[in-house]
Amino acid sequence: MENSPSAIAPLLLRNYLTSIFIFADKSLVSLSQKYKLLQLLRCFIVSSFLFFLSLLPAFFSSLNPSPESHDRPFKSARDDTYSGAAGGGKGGSGVSRALSQLLLIMNDIPVSSRKYEVVRSLAEKLIDENLLEGNRAFREVNCAVLSAAFASSLSQLEAAAAEQGRIGDGGEGVVVVGGAGESDSYVCNKASRLIMGVKYFGRRAWRYAKSRSDPSRSGRSAEKLAAELLWLAQKMAASGCSEEAVCKWASASDLALLAVSAEPRLQGSLVKVSAFLIKEAKEMGKNDENSDERDPSLGQHHVRIRQTKMKMLMSWLPLLCRANNGTDAPILSLGERAELERTLEEIISTLDEEEEQECVLSLWLHHFTYCPTSDWPNLRSCYTRWYNASRGRLMLADTSIH
Protein backbone atom coordinates (compact mmCIF):
# COMPACT_ATOMS: atom_id res chain seq x y z
CA MET A 1 0.00 0.00 0.00
CA GLU A 2 1.21 3.52 -0.74
CA ASN A 3 0.89 4.81 2.83
CA SER A 4 1.78 1.62 4.66
CA PRO A 5 4.60 1.53 7.21
CA SER A 6 6.59 -0.79 4.91
CA ALA A 7 6.74 2.04 2.36
CA ILE A 8 7.39 4.90 4.77
CA ALA A 9 9.91 3.25 7.13
CA PRO A 10 12.70 2.80 4.52
CA LEU A 11 12.08 6.33 3.28
CA LEU A 12 12.50 7.72 6.79
CA LEU A 13 15.64 5.71 7.46
CA ARG A 14 17.09 6.66 4.08
CA ASN A 15 16.48 10.36 4.79
CA TYR A 16 18.06 10.12 8.23
CA LEU A 17 21.13 8.26 6.96
CA THR A 18 21.50 10.62 4.00
CA SER A 19 21.43 13.70 6.21
CA ILE A 20 23.99 12.16 8.59
CA PHE A 21 26.19 11.13 5.66
CA ILE A 22 26.11 14.62 4.13
CA PHE A 23 27.01 16.12 7.48
CA ALA A 24 29.92 13.68 7.97
CA ASP A 25 31.10 14.04 4.37
CA LYS A 26 31.80 17.71 4.97
CA SER A 27 35.18 16.98 6.52
CA LEU A 28 36.22 14.73 3.63
CA VAL A 29 35.43 17.32 0.93
CA SER A 30 38.32 19.64 1.73
CA LEU A 31 40.78 16.81 2.43
CA SER A 32 39.94 14.89 -0.77
CA GLN A 33 40.93 17.94 -2.81
CA LYS A 34 44.49 17.69 -1.44
CA TYR A 35 45.05 13.94 -1.50
CA LYS A 36 44.18 11.71 -4.45
CA LEU A 37 43.98 8.60 -2.28
CA LEU A 38 41.30 10.22 -0.15
CA GLN A 39 39.42 11.11 -3.34
CA LEU A 40 39.30 7.43 -4.30
CA LEU A 41 38.32 6.45 -0.76
CA ARG A 42 35.53 9.03 -0.75
CA CYS A 43 34.19 7.76 -4.08
CA PHE A 44 34.21 4.20 -2.75
CA ILE A 45 32.34 5.24 0.43
CA VAL A 46 29.75 7.19 -1.55
CA SER A 47 29.18 4.28 -3.96
CA SER A 48 28.84 1.80 -1.10
CA PHE A 49 26.44 4.09 0.70
CA LEU A 50 24.22 4.47 -2.39
CA PHE A 51 24.22 0.70 -2.90
CA PHE A 52 23.19 0.21 0.73
CA LEU A 53 20.30 2.68 0.31
CA SER A 54 19.04 0.75 -2.72
CA LEU A 55 18.73 -2.41 -0.59
CA LEU A 56 16.64 -0.80 2.17
CA PRO A 57 13.15 -1.24 0.57
CA ALA A 58 13.70 -4.95 -0.03
CA PHE A 59 15.02 -5.41 3.51
CA PHE A 60 11.95 -3.76 5.10
CA SER A 61 9.46 -5.59 2.90
CA SER A 62 10.91 -8.93 4.09
CA LEU A 63 10.50 -7.87 7.72
CA ASN A 64 7.01 -6.41 7.36
CA PRO A 65 4.32 -8.71 8.83
CA SER A 66 0.92 -9.13 7.23
CA PRO A 67 -1.84 -6.77 8.41
CA GLU A 68 -3.74 -9.64 9.99
CA SER A 69 -0.82 -10.78 12.11
CA HIS A 70 -0.22 -7.17 13.15
CA ASP A 71 -3.76 -6.50 14.24
CA ARG A 72 -4.56 -9.80 15.92
CA PRO A 73 -2.19 -9.54 18.94
CA PHE A 74 -3.22 -5.95 19.55
CA LYS A 75 -6.93 -6.71 19.48
CA SER A 76 -6.59 -9.83 21.59
CA ALA A 77 -4.64 -7.90 24.21
CA ARG A 78 -7.25 -5.18 24.30
CA ASP A 79 -10.02 -7.77 24.53
CA ASP A 80 -8.22 -9.53 27.39
CA THR A 81 -7.99 -6.23 29.24
CA TYR A 82 -11.76 -5.78 29.21
CA SER A 83 -12.90 -9.36 29.63
CA GLY A 84 -10.28 -10.16 32.26
CA ALA A 85 -11.22 -7.10 34.28
CA ALA A 86 -14.88 -8.11 34.25
CA GLY A 87 -13.87 -10.62 36.91
CA GLY A 88 -15.24 -13.80 38.37
CA GLY A 89 -17.78 -15.98 36.72
CA LYS A 90 -19.46 -12.97 35.21
CA GLY A 91 -16.31 -12.08 33.28
CA GLY A 92 -17.10 -14.81 30.79
CA SER A 93 -20.77 -13.97 30.40
CA GLY A 94 -22.24 -12.74 27.14
CA VAL A 95 -23.52 -9.63 28.93
CA SER A 96 -20.05 -8.49 29.98
CA ARG A 97 -18.54 -9.39 26.59
CA ALA A 98 -21.23 -7.43 24.75
CA LEU A 99 -20.68 -4.33 26.89
CA SER A 100 -16.90 -4.65 26.64
CA GLN A 101 -17.07 -4.88 22.86
CA LEU A 102 -19.34 -1.84 22.58
CA LEU A 103 -17.14 0.26 24.85
CA LEU A 104 -14.04 -0.85 22.96
CA ILE A 105 -15.57 0.12 19.61
CA MET A 106 -16.82 3.44 21.02
CA ASN A 107 -13.30 4.13 22.23
CA ASP A 108 -11.75 3.30 18.86
CA ILE A 109 -13.88 5.12 16.30
CA PRO A 110 -13.79 8.93 15.91
CA VAL A 111 -16.68 11.15 16.96
CA SER A 112 -17.02 12.33 13.37
CA SER A 113 -18.09 8.85 12.30
CA ARG A 114 -21.84 8.49 11.82
CA LYS A 115 -21.60 5.15 13.64
CA TYR A 116 -20.23 6.69 16.84
CA GLU A 117 -23.58 7.84 18.24
CA VAL A 118 -25.14 4.52 17.25
CA VAL A 119 -22.59 2.54 19.24
CA ARG A 120 -22.63 4.92 22.21
CA SER A 121 -26.43 5.02 22.46
CA LEU A 122 -26.57 1.22 22.28
CA ALA A 123 -23.97 0.91 25.05
CA GLU A 124 -25.91 3.41 27.17
CA LYS A 125 -29.14 1.51 26.57
CA LEU A 126 -27.64 -1.80 27.71
CA ILE A 127 -26.03 -0.24 30.79
CA ASP A 128 -29.28 1.47 31.80
CA GLU A 129 -31.26 -1.73 31.24
CA ASN A 130 -28.93 -3.59 33.59
CA LEU A 131 -29.57 -0.95 36.25
CA LEU A 132 -33.35 -1.01 35.77
CA GLU A 133 -33.38 -4.77 36.37
CA GLY A 134 -32.32 -4.14 39.97
CA ASN A 135 -30.28 -7.35 39.83
CA ARG A 136 -27.01 -7.45 41.75
CA ALA A 137 -25.28 -9.57 39.10
CA PHE A 138 -26.11 -7.07 36.34
CA ARG A 139 -24.90 -4.17 38.51
CA GLU A 140 -21.62 -5.98 39.17
CA VAL A 141 -21.14 -6.57 35.44
CA ASN A 142 -21.70 -2.86 34.84
CA CYS A 143 -19.16 -1.93 37.49
CA ALA A 144 -16.50 -4.37 36.27
CA VAL A 145 -16.77 -3.45 32.59
CA LEU A 146 -17.03 0.30 33.20
CA SER A 147 -14.10 0.27 35.61
CA ALA A 148 -11.90 -1.53 33.08
CA ALA A 149 -12.96 0.89 30.33
CA PHE A 150 -12.27 3.89 32.59
CA ALA A 151 -8.77 2.64 33.44
CA SER A 152 -7.97 1.97 29.77
CA SER A 153 -9.28 5.36 28.59
CA LEU A 154 -7.42 7.16 31.37
CA SER A 155 -4.14 5.56 30.30
CA GLN A 156 -4.80 6.50 26.66
CA LEU A 157 -5.72 10.06 27.66
CA GLU A 158 -2.43 10.52 29.50
CA ALA A 159 -0.52 9.29 26.45
CA ALA A 160 -2.55 11.52 24.10
CA ALA A 161 -2.05 14.58 26.33
CA ALA A 162 1.70 13.91 26.48
CA GLU A 163 1.87 13.58 22.69
CA GLN A 164 -0.18 16.76 22.24
CA GLY A 165 2.18 18.58 24.58
CA ARG A 166 5.24 17.41 22.64
CA ILE A 167 3.71 18.52 19.34
CA GLY A 168 2.77 21.87 20.83
CA ASP A 169 6.30 22.55 22.09
CA GLY A 170 7.33 23.71 18.63
CA GLY A 171 10.56 23.45 16.75
CA GLU A 172 13.99 22.04 17.30
CA GLY A 173 16.96 23.50 19.09
CA VAL A 174 19.53 25.22 16.92
CA VAL A 175 22.63 23.22 15.99
CA VAL A 176 25.72 25.30 16.74
CA VAL A 177 28.99 24.27 15.11
CA GLY A 178 32.13 26.16 16.02
CA GLY A 179 35.77 26.20 15.03
CA ALA A 180 35.28 26.19 11.24
CA GLY A 181 36.15 28.55 8.46
CA GLU A 182 33.67 30.62 6.51
CA SER A 183 33.07 28.04 3.78
CA ASP A 184 32.87 25.23 6.34
CA SER A 185 30.30 27.25 8.36
CA TYR A 186 28.19 27.57 5.25
CA VAL A 187 28.29 23.82 4.65
CA CYS A 188 27.56 23.14 8.36
CA ASN A 189 24.58 25.48 8.34
CA LYS A 190 23.17 23.80 5.23
CA ALA A 191 23.65 20.36 6.76
CA SER A 192 22.07 21.52 10.04
CA ARG A 193 19.05 22.88 8.25
CA LEU A 194 18.78 19.65 6.26
CA ILE A 195 18.93 17.53 9.44
CA MET A 196 16.32 19.72 11.16
CA GLY A 197 14.04 19.49 8.13
CA VAL A 198 14.42 15.74 7.87
CA LYS A 199 13.70 15.39 11.60
CA TYR A 200 10.56 17.53 11.36
CA PHE A 201 9.06 15.87 8.30
CA GLY A 202 10.28 12.47 9.48
CA ARG A 203 8.32 12.79 12.74
CA ARG A 204 5.25 13.95 10.84
CA ALA A 205 5.50 11.01 8.44
CA TRP A 206 6.16 8.53 11.27
CA ARG A 207 3.11 9.70 13.24
CA TYR A 208 1.04 9.39 10.08
CA ALA A 209 2.42 5.91 9.46
CA LYS A 210 1.59 4.84 13.02
CA SER A 211 -1.96 6.12 12.72
CA ARG A 212 -2.35 4.24 9.43
CA SER A 213 -0.86 1.02 10.78
CA ASP A 214 -2.88 1.18 14.01
CA PRO A 215 -6.47 2.11 13.08
CA SER A 216 -7.53 1.82 16.71
CA ARG A 217 -5.62 5.05 17.48
CA SER A 218 -7.41 7.09 14.83
CA GLY A 219 -10.40 8.05 16.96
CA ARG A 220 -8.54 8.71 20.17
CA SER A 221 -7.99 12.44 20.40
CA ALA A 222 -7.36 13.76 23.90
CA GLU A 223 -10.62 15.74 23.95
CA LYS A 224 -12.65 12.74 22.84
CA LEU A 225 -11.08 10.55 25.51
CA ALA A 226 -11.75 13.16 28.20
CA ALA A 227 -15.41 13.42 27.17
CA GLU A 228 -15.75 9.63 27.24
CA LEU A 229 -14.12 9.51 30.69
CA LEU A 230 -16.78 11.89 31.98
CA TRP A 231 -19.50 9.70 30.47
CA LEU A 232 -17.95 6.55 31.96
CA ALA A 233 -17.64 8.22 35.38
CA GLN A 234 -21.32 9.19 35.29
CA LYS A 235 -22.31 5.63 34.42
CA MET A 236 -20.08 4.29 37.20
CA ALA A 237 -21.76 6.64 39.66
CA ALA A 238 -25.18 5.42 38.54
CA SER A 239 -23.99 1.83 38.99
CA GLY A 240 -22.69 2.51 42.49
CA CYS A 241 -18.96 2.22 41.80
CA SER A 242 -17.87 5.85 41.43
CA GLU A 243 -15.31 5.34 44.21
CA GLU A 244 -13.10 3.42 41.77
CA ALA A 245 -13.23 6.28 39.26
CA VAL A 246 -12.42 8.78 42.03
CA CYS A 247 -9.38 6.75 43.15
CA LYS A 248 -8.06 6.38 39.60
CA TRP A 249 -8.55 10.08 38.81
CA ALA A 250 -6.96 11.16 42.10
CA SER A 251 -3.90 9.04 41.32
CA ALA A 252 -3.49 10.47 37.79
CA SER A 253 -0.93 13.05 38.94
CA ASP A 254 1.06 12.88 35.67
CA LEU A 255 -2.03 13.72 33.63
CA ALA A 256 -2.88 16.53 36.06
CA LEU A 257 0.59 18.00 35.55
CA LEU A 258 0.19 17.86 31.77
CA ALA A 259 -3.26 19.42 32.02
CA VAL A 260 -1.93 22.68 33.50
CA SER A 261 -0.21 23.54 30.21
CA ALA A 262 -2.63 21.76 27.86
CA GLU A 263 -4.69 23.45 25.15
CA PRO A 264 -7.74 25.37 26.46
CA ARG A 265 -10.29 22.99 24.92
CA LEU A 266 -8.64 19.97 26.53
CA GLN A 267 -8.38 21.85 29.82
CA GLY A 268 -12.11 22.50 29.67
CA SER A 269 -12.88 18.80 29.22
CA LEU A 270 -10.56 17.86 32.08
CA VAL A 271 -12.12 20.46 34.37
CA LYS A 272 -15.55 18.91 33.77
CA VAL A 273 -14.27 15.44 34.66
CA SER A 274 -12.52 16.81 37.76
CA ALA A 275 -15.59 18.74 38.88
CA PHE A 276 -17.81 15.66 38.64
CA LEU A 277 -15.39 13.36 40.45
CA ILE A 278 -14.62 15.90 43.17
CA LYS A 279 -18.33 15.97 43.94
CA GLU A 280 -18.35 12.18 44.03
CA ALA A 281 -15.33 12.22 46.34
CA LYS A 282 -17.27 14.36 48.80
CA GLU A 283 -19.86 11.58 49.14
CA MET A 284 -17.28 8.88 49.82
CA GLY A 285 -17.59 7.42 53.32
CA LYS A 286 -21.02 8.83 54.08
CA ASN A 287 -22.61 5.38 53.91
CA ASP A 288 -20.36 4.31 56.81
CA GLU A 289 -21.79 6.84 59.26
CA ASN A 290 -24.19 4.30 60.81
CA SER A 291 -21.58 1.54 60.99
CA ASP A 292 -19.83 0.37 64.15
CA GLU A 293 -17.03 2.89 64.75
CA ARG A 294 -15.09 0.30 66.80
CA ASP A 295 -14.54 -1.81 63.67
CA PRO A 296 -10.77 -1.49 62.87
CA SER A 297 -11.34 -2.14 59.16
CA LEU A 298 -13.75 0.79 59.07
CA GLY A 299 -11.09 3.06 60.54
CA GLN A 300 -8.61 1.99 57.87
CA HIS A 301 -11.27 2.61 55.22
CA HIS A 302 -11.78 6.15 56.50
CA VAL A 303 -8.03 6.77 56.35
CA ARG A 304 -7.90 5.56 52.74
CA ILE A 305 -10.83 7.80 51.83
CA ARG A 306 -9.14 10.83 53.40
CA GLN A 307 -5.91 10.06 51.54
CA THR A 308 -7.81 9.76 48.27
CA LYS A 309 -9.49 13.12 48.83
CA MET A 310 -6.12 14.64 49.64
CA LYS A 311 -4.58 13.25 46.44
CA MET A 312 -7.56 14.48 44.42
CA LEU A 313 -7.10 18.05 45.65
CA MET A 314 -3.31 18.07 45.38
CA SER A 315 -3.46 16.71 41.83
CA TRP A 316 -6.28 18.74 40.30
CA LEU A 317 -6.49 22.05 42.21
CA PRO A 318 -3.76 23.61 40.01
CA LEU A 319 -5.82 22.89 36.89
CA LEU A 320 -8.96 24.36 38.44
CA CYS A 321 -7.03 27.54 39.25
CA ARG A 322 -5.21 27.86 35.93
CA ALA A 323 -7.69 26.55 33.37
CA ASN A 324 -8.88 29.11 30.85
CA ASN A 325 -12.52 29.39 31.95
CA GLY A 326 -13.41 31.89 29.24
CA THR A 327 -16.35 34.29 29.04
CA ASP A 328 -17.96 33.48 25.69
CA ALA A 329 -18.21 29.75 26.40
CA PRO A 330 -17.44 29.13 30.10
CA ILE A 331 -16.47 25.64 31.15
CA LEU A 332 -18.81 25.71 34.14
CA SER A 333 -21.75 28.01 34.83
CA LEU A 334 -21.69 30.45 37.76
CA GLY A 335 -23.93 28.12 39.75
CA GLU A 336 -21.70 25.12 39.04
CA ARG A 337 -18.61 27.06 40.07
CA ALA A 338 -20.20 28.17 43.34
CA GLU A 339 -21.33 24.61 44.06
CA LEU A 340 -17.84 23.24 43.39
CA GLU A 341 -16.30 25.86 45.68
CA ARG A 342 -18.60 24.70 48.50
CA THR A 343 -17.70 21.09 47.73
CA LEU A 344 -13.98 21.89 47.88
CA GLU A 345 -14.39 23.66 51.20
CA GLU A 346 -16.34 20.71 52.62
CA ILE A 347 -13.68 18.22 51.51
CA ILE A 348 -10.88 20.38 52.92
CA SER A 349 -12.70 20.57 56.26
CA THR A 350 -12.56 16.75 56.54
CA LEU A 351 -8.75 16.72 56.22
CA ASP A 352 -6.30 16.87 59.08
CA GLU A 353 -6.12 20.53 60.11
CA GLU A 354 -2.49 20.52 61.18
CA GLU A 355 -0.78 19.32 58.00
CA GLU A 356 -3.13 18.24 55.22
CA GLN A 357 -5.24 21.39 55.14
CA GLU A 358 -2.10 23.52 55.16
CA CYS A 359 -0.66 21.61 52.19
CA VAL A 360 -3.86 21.90 50.14
CA LEU A 361 -4.49 25.56 50.95
CA SER A 362 -0.85 26.52 50.33
CA LEU A 363 -1.04 24.85 46.92
CA TRP A 364 -4.32 26.66 46.17
CA LEU A 365 -2.91 30.04 47.25
CA HIS A 366 0.15 29.68 45.03
CA HIS A 367 -1.75 28.82 41.85
CA PHE A 368 -4.68 31.15 42.58
CA THR A 369 -2.47 34.20 43.06
CA TYR A 370 -0.04 33.49 40.20
CA CYS A 371 -2.73 32.94 37.56
CA PRO A 372 -3.78 36.35 36.16
CA THR A 373 -6.62 35.05 33.97
CA SER A 374 -8.83 33.38 36.59
CA ASP A 375 -10.20 34.21 40.04
CA TRP A 376 -11.75 30.81 40.66
CA PRO A 377 -12.01 28.77 42.81
CA ASN A 378 -11.98 31.39 45.58
CA LEU A 379 -11.22 29.51 48.81
CA ARG A 380 -10.38 32.62 50.81
CA SER A 381 -12.97 31.93 53.52
CA CYS A 382 -11.68 28.38 53.89
CA TYR A 383 -8.12 29.67 54.14
CA THR A 384 -9.19 32.18 56.80
CA ARG A 385 -10.88 29.48 58.88
CA TRP A 386 -7.79 27.30 58.74
CA TYR A 387 -5.56 30.24 59.73
CA ASN A 388 -7.79 31.22 62.65
CA ALA A 389 -7.85 27.61 63.85
CA SER A 390 -4.03 27.53 63.66
CA ARG A 391 -3.83 30.77 65.67
CA GLY A 392 -6.19 29.31 68.24
CA ARG A 393 -4.06 26.20 68.67
CA LEU A 394 -0.91 28.32 68.97
CA MET A 395 -2.48 30.54 71.64
CA LEU A 396 -3.74 27.47 73.51
CA ALA A 397 -0.29 25.89 73.42
CA ASP A 398 1.33 29.12 74.64
CA THR A 399 -1.20 29.45 77.49
CA SER A 400 -0.60 25.88 78.63
CA ILE A 401 3.18 26.48 78.73
CA HIS A 402 2.85 29.58 80.86
13 compared with 301, residue with greater pLDDT: 301
Position 121 scores a pLDDT of: 93
Highest mean pLDDT among 13-22, 136-145, 292-301: 136-145
Please report the pLDDT score of residue 324 as a whole number.
65
Q: Work out the pLDDT band at 93, boundaries 50, 70, 90.
A: confident
Domain with 332, as residue range(s), is 241-402
How many residues can be counted in the chain? 402
Within a domain: 294: yes
Quote the CA–CA distance of 240 and 144 in Å, as a whole number: 11
Domain contains 108: no
C-alpha angle 171/173/176, rounded to 5°? 145
Return the pLDDT at 91: 44
Task: Specify whether the CB–CB gap between 249 and 274 falls below 8 A.
Answer: yes
Residue 23 in any domain: the answer is no
- Look at residue 43 and tell me if it is in a domain: no
Quickly state the pLDDT bin for 75 (edges 50, 70, 90).
very low
pLDDT of residue 149: 95
Average pLDDT over residues 283-287: 81
Give the list of residues 6+ apart from residue 268 with CB closer than 8 angstroms, or none: 323, 324, 326, 331
Flag whether pLDDT at 256 surpasses 70.
yes
More confident residue, 269 or 6: 269
Q: Is the pLDDT of residue 379 over 50?
A: yes
Residue 67 located in a structural domain? no
Output 9 or 208, whichever has higher pLDDT.
Answer: 9
CA pair distance 398, 350, nearest whole angstrom? 26
Domain assignment present for 315: yes
| CB 271 within 8 Å of CB 320 | yes
**Residue 273 falls inside a structural domain:** yes
Report DSSP letters for 304-363, one per residue: HHHHHHHHHHHHHHHHHHHS---SSS-SS-HHHHHHHHHHHHHHHHTS-TTTHHHHHHHH
Binning pLDDT at 50, 70 and 90, where does residue 271 land?
Answer: very high
- What's the pLDDT score for residue 12? 57
The band of 301, judged by pLDDT with boundaries at 50, 70 and 90, is confident
pLDDT in tens, 327-342: 455 788 889 999 999 9
Give the Cα separation of 373 and 322 in Å (integer).
8
Looking at residues 3-12, what average pLDDT do you find? 51
Confirm whether 120 is domain-assigned. no
| Domains of the chain: total | 1
pLDDT in tens, 141-198: 999 999 999 999 999 999 999 887 765 554 333 333 333 344 444 444 444 444 545 4
